[in-house]
Structure 1
């Protein structure tokens, strides 16, 4: 089985023999279990997998058998009803049409695959922070559970583009001699710069851009905004709104030093941060959801973070396998 499945697109799944067997329910148990598990854990590829599965099933649909004597009887009835001879054409079967269409689809996708841009991906796991140097010298720091894609061949392109597919990344953009613009794209948000330092975070409910140094142009659904250092742009995905406000920069870039800075932050937001960063489920008692935290705590690993939260904010915290439970401390001084 191909080890590079995460880069698969529609046409790759379509041509993969193991995936074909799974789609047609003819795979062995090990293959069935593999693809079922892969489908559950790779939601970002659901659209491509679903389309490929439907196409494979349609191309392998069998036609009902028709008795030859019935066909001959039908032609005789037509001959009797017409005054001129009827030329009997060989019927074009559904499968022959489907096969022709399939060939055209695959050929088109293979052409697009060969001519489409090629990307290099950089990704971090849960609890991992990594530094990446891009071809132009730009430094990117990826927060935990984050992924960016960079188009190859920047020297031959009119601009430099980075796709933030998930998570959070901090950019220290290098100015080039030819002043090529630098674009960071996350969902429908595009950040354009020449040389500056900024942070982009792509979450489930919002995309945030924080400018630490320099100047950037932010574009969202036809609305453009020039941002100044110390400003945070927040794009709410639910109501498609863009707001810009002044913030304390330290609160948004402290993760670069493996620290977290809270400023009247709801504990419910801290729980989401822990889930996204470390890939664990956080169970928070109702009485604590609106409690707010302030201060700075280390974030080098999950256990250190939980210990610091427990001590500095008087909480009862337990960690069992992949579940973190946070309750109000019952300690009485």
Structure 2
């Protein structure tokens, strides 16, 4: 989707712009240089926004768990208050006041709110594959973290927790192929002459330019492709083909080799990219699997704890403790958090 800012605030609230300023690389440099060339009337705003971000200095210090929780709570409250009342004094003024008053918290906010995490695993591992010696790169996200970046053609990728994507250092003139293990959201740059192909487990997704989500985790019994806009064709390794229109999703059973098409709730399937977890009559086993991946923890269930039915609920940028408090109240269990281990009893 084309980025069309009208104020400096739009730049500061764009996670991809912030990530480029804080941690530039060849791909993001190429993308933003192209964007600047195509939008010469906005380069002054772009430069000012970049200067604001670079003016922040993060001091190195040890922060206890209590301080960490306090800062995170403060950031979440500020985020909610900003959504409800920025109009009273002007969004950019409030945003700048917050940055000046909370330098350390502001830097943390950039990474937590816009990048998903400060600690993601970036692996620029280089492999030599096939006879043409194409250089393939890979990027991976740890459990409990997410990351976003641009591919060589400018297409946007948001990688969910515990996922890996491989792509060529330079796409060929005939195809743009990437390989996915896990879950990712793609916003593909349109190019009719060079199709974009995602190889994920038993599926291949072919597109020209569109936005879609692919969930192809090796430990799941099925694979899913959900289309937000545009049009894609999904092909299985055994030759089953299905075309998707906007807001349609296919679910492919690896065991039965069957593909089912239907509609989907965008927040349930793709809300993760915007910090939203939404459950719709979701089995509790799957609920806890999602929470493990989302927060990077291990959840241990006591044999005495039994659940009936499924869970309905929506959580936006919530800390794990707040999610568990709500579940414990409605389902009548207790829990204990010890670092990265959660015990439910």
For the aligned pair, the TM-score class normalised by the smaller chain equals: 0.5 to 0.7
Q: Distance in 2 between matches of 1:323 and 1:224?
A: 42
Kindly indicate whether the alpha-carbon contact (under 8 Å) linking 1:134 and 1:140 is maintained by their aligned counterparts in 2: yes
Corresponding residue to 1:214 among 190, 206, 230: 230
Equivalent positions of 1:135-284 (< 5 A) are 135-154=152-171, 156-165=172-181, 167-176=182-191, 179-203=193-217, 204=219, 205-220=221-236, 221-284=238-301
For the residue of structure 1 that corresponds to 2:204, the secondary structure is strand
Q: Which runs of 4+ in 1 moved over 6 A?
A: 110-114
Change (3 A) 1:136 1:297: same
Asked if 1:296 corresponds to 2:314, the answer is: yes
Q: Give me the TM-score of the superposition, normalised by structure 1.
A: 0.59
Q: CA deviation at 1:113?
A: 6.8
Summarize deviations over 1:3-24 as a string: whole Å, max 9, x none. xxxxxxxxxxxxxxxxxxxxxx
- Rg (Cα) greater in structure: 1
For the residue of structure 2 that corresponds to 1:145, the secondary structure is coil
Corresponding residue to 2:133 among 99, 116, 120: 116
Summarize deviations over 1:47-86 as a string: whole Å, max 9, x none. xxxxxxxxxxxxxxxxxxxxxxxxxxxxxxxxxxxxxxxx
Q: CA deviation at 1:308?
A: 4.4
- Can you give the 5+ residue segments of structure 2 that lack an aligned partner in the other structure? 1-126
The structure, 1 or 2, with the larger RCO (C-alpha pairs under 8 Å, 6+ apart) is 2
Summarize deviations over 1:187-222 as a string: whole Å, max 9, x none. 120000111111011221222111111111000120
Change (3 A) 1:298 1:117: same
For the residue of structure 2 that corresponds to 1:262, the secondary structure is strand
Q: CA deviation at 1:304?
A: 4.2
Paired residues, what number? 215
For the residue of structure 1 that corresponds to 2:142, the secondary structure is coil
- Can you give the 5+ residue segments of structure 1 that lack an aligned partner in the other structure? 1-109, 328-333
Q: Distance in 1 between matches of 2:128 and 2:147?
A: 35
